[in-house]
Amino acid sequence: MTDTTSDVTTHAVNLTDVAADKIRNLLEQEGRDDLRLRVAVQPGGCSGLIYQLYFDERMLEGDAVRDYDGVEVVVDKMSVPYLEGATIDFADTIEKQGFTIDNPNAGSACACGGSFS
């Protein structure tokens, strides 16, 4: 039997405590403890790349994972360089509600806030 845990790489995406608490609450509401938050960048949007955040039960080859007190954040190997040093937060104010990504690698962003180059 081989130990695959040594093959798991980590990433440099940060998750704030507020965002981790929100994810934990969402997973509890769903009654699921087998899901992770997957963060990726994909081609699209008006600036060239768009963020994707979703719950995923899969671990794919080359995924990088980091645990935040029981909340696992997974990034695919192609997205890791684009998300290096990015911070995921959650806002719940009159002006803004939802997850936000502060990414120092984004050269520019479009007006929708979901796309960057």
How do residues 32-49 score in pLDDT, each as one tens digit? 889 999 999 988 766 678
- Measured CA to CA, the distance from residue 22 to residue 35 in angstroms comes to 14
- What pLDDT sits at residue 5? 46
C-alpha pair distances (Å), 49 with each of 63, 99, 109, 110: 19, 17, 9, 10
Q: If you average pLDDT over every residue of the chain, what do you get?
A: 84
- Whole-model pTM above 0.85? no
The superfamily in CATH containing domain 8-116 is HesB-like domain (2.60.300.12)
Q: Where residue 83 falls among pLDDT bands split at 50, 70, 90? A: very high
Domain spans of the chain, in order of start: 8-116
